[in-house]
Structure 1
């Protein structure tokens, strides 16, 4: 598993905030500010996607680990119930050693999975739960911006008209309606521009302990597996017999079986 390009992320090139309305003549939000906002929010959108993907992949990985070790235990248990074990003491001793090793492996694997669940998957899940609130804050900011643009256009419309008494009254009313909306937008915009980069930067400090725990869990598990299978090798290995020699022995025995009349081709 790697974290570069995923949780760390890159800024998407074609990011667009999904809100569009007609522009008033007056530029109420500088283009540089809007670009900064789009860039920062785009980084957080990608961070959200990659966090969810990593959480999903980690869950698949631990599920596969559990399935693997449980299958190994079932295989050794089934071998122990094979009648051949009753007839061949050497085979019984070998399968018993295998069964013990598989159960030890399963136990350590479960400890590893539990640790990953607690220190990696759960933190990823909690981190993902923050994004709905963030996305709602961005949506509220965009809705306020639409109101701001609509009221600014209304003010501009009255400013262009002849300054009669009724028009001046409507202009004054439109400006009064515009003022709190403008202040609300500027406050929301400022808060998001300040806090989005901080939130994005915090991902390193947040995830680093999780990744460190993941690495340690894997190191402990495979260290124990080395010991377990080393012990198993010592119990079942035949001195001086290579894998190639074992393969030749198996082929010779299989040839003898194929020579039996009951398996001969018709």
Structure 2
């Protein structure tokens, strides 16, 4: 950090302390606060979605591996992994990659707000207690105007563009979610077909019962017996 940057950091820290003690008025921008709140919620949801999508991918991989061991096939996993990565993981990764950039703009805006509040306080004090030095008031006025201009430029940009970012989330993610639903259907269909191949390991009588749906009825019967157990909530 340069010496100039270091001094600015110290001045901003001092401004923050004085604002907390009520010695410098804090600018309250409700419009920006509302847009930032919506953005923070979106950021949190995207980060959670990215984490959950990886968890889902890992679970799908584990389940497919189990199916592969049963059906002697791993083709489903190979067919699903690449499209899932392309349609789900990569778009989420790209969206989340923007957040640090946006957060940097918000951080810069907040720093410029501190500069503006400090300059405004300095100008007010200079007006209330005129100095014998005739250059102090014009200098304080110029510092105030410059700080205000820089802050308002950044603030207006964020207020205008944060809602645009949120509006884009639907058309951006819609194709991903549609692709995910289609892949889930494909995954289930292929899994059912692959699992059907394990019938060759069944005895002839079991295979006939399976084809007739009697195994499903048997499973339902066992489940009903379990439900009636007291430890499972039965009477």
* TM-score interval for Structure 1 and Structure 2 normalised by the shorter chain: 0.7 to 0.9
Aligned partners of 1:24 and 1:149 also within 8 Å: no
Task: Map Cα deviations across residues 184-235 of structure 1 (whole Å, 9 max, x no partner).
Answer: 1111111010000001111001100100110111111212223333454477
Paired with 1:152 and 1:42, the residues of 2 have a C-alpha distance of 26
Higher Rg: 1
Task: Map Cα deviations across residues 137-179 of structure 1 (whole Å, 9 max, x no partner).
Answer: 01111110111111111111110124x641x321111112222
Calculate the aligned-residue CA RMSD, in Å. Answer: 2.8
Paired with 2:123 and 2:218, the residues of 1 have a C-alpha distance of 91
Compared CA separation, residues 25 and 226, structure 1 to 2 (3 A): closer
Cα displacement (A) at 1:48: 1.2
Unaligned runs of 5+ in 2: 1-15, 220-235
Tell me the TM-score normalized by structure 2: 0.73
Q: Aligned pair 1:238/2:207, yes or no?
A: yes
Q: Which residue of 2 aligns with 1:64?
A: 59
Alignment of 1:1-266 (within 5 A): 22=19, 29=27, 31=28, 34-74=29-69, 76=70, 101-103=71-73, 106-162=74-130, 165-166=132-133, 168-230=134-196, 232-233=198-199, 236=202, 237-240=206-209, 242-243=214-215
Q: How many pairs does the alignment contain?
A: 196
Tell me the TM-score normalized by structure 1: 0.65
Unaligned runs of 5+ in 1: 1-18, 77-100, 248-266
Compared CA separation, residues 201 and 159, structure 1 to 2 (3 A): same
Compared CA separation, residues 179 and 60, structure 1 to 2 (3 A): same
Paired with 2:114 and 2:216, the residues of 1 have a C-alpha distance of 76
SS in 1 for 2:149: helix
